[in-house]
Amino acid sequence: MRLTQSVAAVAACAQLGYALDLDVTSSDSIRTAASTLAHGLMNYYQNNKTDTPKESIGTLPWPLYWWEAGAVWGGLIDYWAYTNDTSFNDVVMQAIMAQTGTDNNFLPEAYYSSMGNDDQAFWTFSALSALEYGFPDPPEGSPSWQTLAVNAFDSMAPRWDTATCGGGLRWQVFSTNNGWTYKNSVSNGGFFQMAARLARFTGNSTYYDWAERIWDWTTATGLIDESYRIYDGASTTDNCQEVQQLQWTYNPGIFIYGTAMLYNYTNGSSVWETRLTGLIEQVDQTFFQAEDNATNVMVEAACEPYGTCNNDQFSFKAYLARFLAKAMVVAPYTRTAILPLLTTSAQGAAKSCSGPSDGVTCGQKWYTEFDGNYGIGQELSALEVTQALLIDEAPELMDHNDVKIKPATTSSTLKPTVSIGPASVSGITSTSATATGAATSATTAAPSSTSTAGSVQSVVPHMNVLLGGALIGAAALL
């Protein structure tokens, strides 16, 4: 993903004195609120008009980048699954099919010059959700959802780079792109989640092997530390010896759902349970206790308090909300920790959705009324955290045999935590069994070597740098 300058706050916009109506105890109210937000989100989308160039169908207006459109369609697939509202299905189908690329792997040539592995992953997440929830099949002659997801994975696997940092995916797909010398958590986390979801769906153990490999490399490199903090990335120029330690909400969100899938796939492995618990506890501490007046309310802690978030970062909370909700389904023991955080955040988001003209346009901060900062990322984030409360209404996940996937069997309990400090798993009692994944052959074998790399340098062309406690944009952004 490329990061762009944030939308200027529109503080002078008249406020109408009311906000999105949301009763978190009523499914009907949540559904109505989600519908309002989904329609508000789609009001921003214009690239399905008859005169839209083919390569632009399914994308968002400048200055938003290609990846975020894929994220929007994934959110609307979930909206359909949670509400049974088919209003946007045709638009979603057209948009995704327009961006599959020549090889049906979400690598359209029009976007090669800024194509990141993370960008490809976000579109693949949408295909995986369509596959798992039974979204309508693509038109005749088009690739299936499974084909798209598998092709995307198969295109990523050969990019695993052991020549630097002992492994890992680079941020960018092509060596001519700005960011080629950076290995970031979101690219490797995207690959990890894809592997985990494909392992669960297909029963193919090679995907599981890849997921283990990615996790091991990420922790060995220091992108995930011993307290389950997930940092932004590392530079290949110093062989990943120093880690860029910014923390963004979407990174743990992506890893949490992948880890929850592996917990489910292994029938409640204590190894994946410990990792999942650590990630959730650290997320609670880092992003839900970041402001004194935002207890249990999600905050993009690296930029939101300073007013420095850019267009990409405005949407990051959407993915943490999305994947926390999904994690509760495949790892039910996490519900007691996750649901209160999502509920309080949804209430805060509804309060912030009191913006200009319609009175329900959403701002960025969920611990205040409308803050004058609005756009697609803010609207998507509010939609995701709101519809997350409908996760129990979603269809049961399906596998390659069209068999509904039941939650993993476990009697573990995860206690919510509100303390600030190193994550621990001391609040957990586990009776989970160590389980095995299905062993079937696969076409893309995981590497067999074990990587150990250090942490990484903070020379980051795309992110912000932390100076004196405030975030400022990097000068050489693009």
Strand partners, 472: 465
Among residues 432, 315, 338, which one has the least CA distance to residue 391?
338
Q: Considering only residues 332 and 466, tell me which one the structure prediction assigns the higher pLDDT.
A: 332
Q: What letters, b where the CB count within 10 A reaches 16 and e where it falls short, cover 207-219?
A: bbbbbbbbbebbb
Among residues 209, 251, 265, which one has the least CA distance to residue 122?
251
The burial of 53, by beta-carbon neighbours within 10 Å (0-12 exposed, 13-18 middle, 19 or more buried), is given as: exposed
Give the least confident one: 242-251, 276-285, 363-372, 397-406: 397-406
d(CA 199, CA 432): 20
Task: Tell me the chain's radius of gyration from C-alpha atoms.
Answer: 21
Section 14-30 average pLDDT? 81
Among residues 121, 70, 65, 125, which one has the least CA distance to residue 92?
70
* 37 phi and psi angles, rounded to 5 deg: -70, -40
Q: Are strands 233-235 and 243-244 parallel, antiparallel or unpaired?
A: antiparallel
Give me the pLDDT at residue 409, please.
58
d(CA 68, CA 63): 11
Q: Report whether the peptide linkage leading into residue 61 is cis, meaning its omega lies within 30 degrees of zero.
A: no
Give me the pLDDT at residue 241, please.
97
Report which secondary-structure segment, H or E, holds 413. strand 413-414
Give me the pLDDT at residue 444, please.
59
d(CA 43, CA 65): 18
| Contact (Cβ atoms closer than 8 angstroms) between residue 123 and residue 155 | no
| Contact (Cβ atoms closer than 8 angstroms) between residue 192 and residue 207 | no
Q: How far, rounded to the nearest angstrom, does the alpha carbon of residue 33 sit from its chain's CA centroid? A: 22
CATH number of 27-473: 1.50.10.20
- Categorize the per-residue pLDDT at 255 as very low, low, confident or very high, splitting at 50, 70 and 90: very high
pTM score of the predicted model: 0.84
Give me the pLDDT at residue 19, please.
84
| pLDDT reading at 424 higher than 50 | no
Residue 196 to residues 153, 193, 222, 271, 461, Cα–Cα distance (Å): 11, 5, 21, 15, 29
Residues 6+ apart with CB under 8 A from 214: 188, 191, 192, 195
d(CA 314, CA 330): 28
Section 117-129 average pLDDT? 99
Residue whose entry in the numeric block shows the structure tokens 């955290």? 385
| pLDDT reading at 99 higher than 80 | yes
Backbone conformation region of residue 154, classed left if phi is above 0, alpha if psi is from -120 to 50, else beta = alpha
In the chain, % of residues over pLDDT 70: 81
> pLDDT tens digits, residue range 66-87?
999 999 999 999 999 999 999 9
| pLDDT reading at 26 higher than 80 | yes
> pLDDT tens digits, residue range 330-365?
999 999 999 999 999 999 999 999 997 788 999 999
- Categorize the per-residue pLDDT at 446 as very low, low, confident or very high, splitting at 50, 70 and 90: low
Q: Considering only residues 18 and 9, tell me which one the structure prediction assigns the higher pLDDT.
A: 18
Nearest-5° angle of CA 19, CA 16, CA 20?
15
